[in-house]
Chain A
Amino acid sequence: MTLTIESRLVKAMLQRALEAAPQEACGLCGGRAGRVTEFHALTNTDASGEHFTMAPEEQFKAVRAMRVSGAAMLAIWHSHPATPARMSEEDLRLAYTPDTVYLITSLARPEKPELRGFTVSNGRAEPVDIEEVP
């Protein structure tokens, strides 16, 4: 599976991750036909460097905004300020949303931030190819 993401949105996610560090940042990605066209940064109500929780009212607002622009929610994004871009045990346990991509921006190597994506099925993560396009 491949998820296509516009380059400006990859940068927006990185910018948000850097702003929030050392806390984790989170957000939702919308788009059509496997192509992410919008990114909505949300509040991490845990305000933690090791955990994130999205506020339901912000989730609903973001999803409605996607619908208005003809998009659907394609991915759930968060940052790992100090660990690699891998689904942690907690990420897997709390991956309740079916049929979505889980995106992680890692700042573990500040000189080389990394964005990776996964699908989760039966508690296991499968990598998704990320194609960055202009």
Chain B
Amino acid sequence: MNVVINGTVTAVDGVSSVTSLLASQKVKMPDMVSVELNGEILDRSLFESTLLKEGDRVEFLYFMGGGSASRGGRAMSLTDAQIERYSRHILLPEVGGRGQEKLLAGRVLLVGTGGLGSPAALYLAAAGVGTLGLIDADVVDLSNLQRQIIHSMADLGHPKVESAANKMRALNPDVRVSTYHARLTAANALELLKEYDFVIDGTDNFPSKFLVADACHFAGKPYSHAGILRFDGQTMTVRPGVSACYRCVFNAPPPAGAVPSCSQAGVLGVLAGIMGALQATEAIKYLLGQGDLLTDSLLVYNALKTTFRKVGLKRNPKCPLCGAAPVITELKDEAPAVCDLRKAPGG
């Protein structure tokens, strides 16, 4: 078969896919090559499945990049193994080597390592977010495993933070995982939040969600809220003092018994994965300084109907937390968790 490779008609034998063509051209690192097929850039994920035919025009070039990076004594910190591990990130113009370094220098606290925290923790660890904190007082329960995918049978009865940390360390040794086998409270929240750049609210009850919202406000930390019940999920990102906060929208926790919890009403397991993955995406975008955060918006997802609805929000001048005349001026614990039939299994 004859194909035009980089402008030259070339006879290639035993070549079927783009991958095999690159191999025939002695390309040593196909992951670092861009390919144009008949004038269109071909996504790298399609190299293997794209079959060539007679007369196809194939152009390939290696990734071209670099940088001075040693200014002020600061050396490029990525090792060869890291460049390979994060190559799919580094290839994205919005990430690049510099963005990956930002992720490695990033610090994210996950409040709750349950349904929402599980996917968020795994994706943030995989992405190479360098410091991840986990706070959760629960132990792994059999009823958790339907959705809390970071835990497994062998972890039953063990603290969730330790179970999660073990998986994250196994996934990516670049990540430093700090564990706090405790509840987030008004007494410990501000001290803990000081250490982090971004917070993920993966809690499963209203008092905790309001505590996270208030603590992030007082600590000035951006965070991602999410909540799930049955087939519905919602998420929003808050930049304290800049965008609408949780209390701008939901003034105070509902009365005890007014809203059922997941342990009462049930929740589709995969819903937690979708919402938790959205939260991880927000954290990554914040650390990179790329894209538009989900601020001043509430994203509402219904799994049964497969609908995403984005509701615009505005800061509430009468917000008790961030309004013109706030009535909440210090961090306090809200009333105990509402309407739990049994100990709530952490999102």
Contact = CB atoms under 8 A, between A and B. Distances in A.
Given A60-B59, A93-B76, A50 B64 contact: no
Which of A28, A55, A90 has the most C-beta atoms of chain B within 10 angstroms of its own C-beta? A90
Contact of B67 (A56, A63, A88, A96): A88
Interface in B24-72: 29, 32-34, 36, 41, 59, 61-71
Contacts of B62: 96-97
A57 B39 CA distance: 10
A80 interface: yes
A4 interface: no
B93 A97 contact: no
B41 A83 contact: no
Interface string A53-73: 111110110011001000000
B71 A94 contact: no
B183 to A, nearest CB: 42
A97 B64 contact: yes
Contacts, number: 113
Given A51-B96, A96-B29, A59 B34 contact: yes
Nearest to A73: B61
Nearest to A97: B62
Interface residues of B, number: 30
Q: Choose among A46, A59, A78, A95 the residue with the greatest number of B CB atoms under 10 Å from its CB.
A: A46
Contact of B65 (A53, A81, A83): A53
B75 interface: yes
B69 A46 contact: no
Contacts of B68: 24, 49-50, 80-83, 88, 90
Interface of A: 24, 26, 28, 45-46, 48-57, 59-60, 63-64, 67, 76, 78, 80-83, 87-91, 93-97, 102
Contact of B66 (A55, A81, A95): A95
Nearest to B97: A51
B63 A51 contact: no
Interface in B282-325: none
A72 B41 CA distance: 20
A26 B65 CA distance: 9
A31 B64 CA distance: 18
B83 interface: yes
B36 A52 contact: no
Closest 10 CB pairs of A and B: A51-B67, A45-B93, A91-B66, A56-B34, A53-B65, A96-B62, A90-B76, A83-B68, A80-B68, A97-B62
Given A82-B71, A90-B97, A93-B76, A52 B66 contact: yes
A60 B74 CA distance: 33
Contacts of B70: 83, 88-89
B26 to A, nearest CB: 9
Contact of B98 (A51, A80, A87, A95): A51
A117 B96 CA distance: 24
A45 B80 CA distance: 22
B7 A67 contact: yes
